[in-house]
Structure 1
Amino acid sequence: MRRVHVVAPDVITGKAVAALLDGQFTLACTPPADVALVVDDVFLPSTMGRVQDTAALGVPIVLLTHQLQAGSLLTLIGHGVGAVLDSASTSRAQLVEAIDAAARGAGIVSPELMGPLLRQVRDLQRTILHPLGYTGVGLSTREVEILRLLAEGRETKEIADALSYSESTVKKDLHELITRFRLRNRTQAVAFAIRAGVL
């Protein structure tokens, strides 16, 4: 049974949520836990503070709140929130499903927040990533070209010649991306690019 750590603004809310989840999960008063559930009636700056504090646990976070400003979504995701649910419209079954999904590494966002989230990601890509020469997965245009040629089976010298770079530049770029994404070798780098949809 999954262990859930409930973070609430007060004891009464915490006990109410614990009663709601009773029988579905083991409630963890202290870490370790598989998932943290941050609950607040209305999304306030203090809610963001609780999410930031909870992020230190290093477990997926489910946020159950109301009146969340869409502008906070990317920040919440950056703190490890894997599911965002509106407390005014979420059923017990949906909450249980979200906790299980977060524990598996999946994400759930309330339908009313999905549109604003997609707009934020699109704006981020258009205004920041693309002008700097990066794709949505954090690869530069040059890195994608190097990986494309590597996937074709070309050697470092052939890649350098095709792109008019020095061999040392190609090696440096490959080393940096392998290190940045914690990959082990060039084969994993190509596989990463394929999974990310850039090749």
Structure 2
Amino acid sequence: MAVHAPDPITHEGVVGGLRRRPELHLVGEAEAVVVVVVAEVVDEQVKTVLRRFSRTVGARPVLIVSDLKEAHLLEAVECGVVAMLWRREATPDGIVRAIVAAAGGGGSLPPDLQGRLLKQVGRMQRGAQAQGLAAAGLADREREVLCLVADGLDTSEIAGKLAYSERTVKNVLHGLMTRLHLRNRAHAVAYALKEGYI
């Protein structure tokens, strides 16, 4: 694990509190499986740091933060954060629990942040349903097209069966694959089967 802090005093304070813990092994940021990121707020600079660790380095960020606006909670999760602690409540034992959870593929949030995150996800889900997306995250049209792709039909056969134009079928598949970051039709079908959408 590694520590990333906004200043040397904070960095040394966190490292000093964790250095003697037998369950932890301090390494450089480039080698870390888990990186503890200490910040006052989640601003653009902090989001850039979090993305770098989660996407470029492949580490699992644990965020210790002083203040977190409602809008920044989901953004932090989107940046790869798997555990958060309030700075005012962060103790060496609490930080170690968050690091161990993150290293094991789990996560950790204070109860008040869990509640806020669940409310945000609920609002997003209701918004998705209002836009015609099913609870599973796929519109009925997307599910119909994917079922027919899974049955081995080509674009013209799908268009004929559903009374869509070929262009519409291609647009449905393109939109779905773009939104879910899928590489091709086979990947889309595999994803839909694995997630239980079809």
Structure 1 contact 39–64 (Cα < 8 Å) conserved: yes
Distance apart, 1:52 and its partner CA: 2.5
Deviations 1:27-79 (A, max 9, x none): 23443422221124xx4366x63342342233321102344333321111122
Give, in whole Å, the separation in 2 of the partners of 1:73 and 1:160. 42
* Deviation, structure 1 residue 117: 0.7
Structure 1: 4+ residue segments shifted above 6 A: none
Which residue does the alignment assign to 2:99?
99
Q: Which residue of 2 aligns with 1:170?
A: 169
Identical-pair percentage:
38
**Corresponding pairs, count:** 191
Match of 2:63 in 1: 63
The CA deviation at 1:137 is 6.8
Q: Does the C-alpha gap of structure 1 residues 132 and 44 become closer, same or farther in structure 2, counting only changes over 3 Å?
A: same
> Aligned equivalents of 1:105 and 1:55: distance in 2?
17
CA contact (8 A) 2:36 2:61 kept: yes
Does the CA contact (< 8 Å) of 1:21 and 1:96 recur in 2?
yes
Residue 155 (structure 1) aligned to one of 153, 156, 159: 153
1:35 counterpart letter in structure 2: V
The 2-side partners of 1:44 and 1:185 are apart by: 39
Identify unmatched segments of 5+ residues in structure 2: none
Matched with 1:18 is: 15
| Structure with greater helix percent | 2
Describe the shift of the 1:74–1:179 C-alpha distance in structure 2 as closer, same or farther (beyond 3 A).
closer
CA contact (8 A) 2:51 2:80 kept: yes
Q: How does 1:13-162 map to 2 (within 5 A)?
A: 13-22=10-19, 23-40=22-39, 43-44=40-41, 49-57=45-53, 58=56, 59-127=59-127, 129-134=128-133, 139-151=138-150, 153=151, 155-156=153-154, 157-162=156-161
In structure 1, the gaps of 5 or more residues are none
Alpha-carbon RMSD:
3.2
Answer whether contact 2:146 2:189 (CA < 8 A) is retained. yes
TM-score, structure 2 normalization: 0.74
1:97 and 1:194 map into 2 onto residues whose CA distance is 35
**Counterpart code for 1:116:** R
User: 2:3 is matched with which residue: 6, 16, 26?
Assistant: 6
Cα shift at 1:18: 0.9
**Distance change >3 Å, CA 140–CA 70, structure 1 → 2:** same
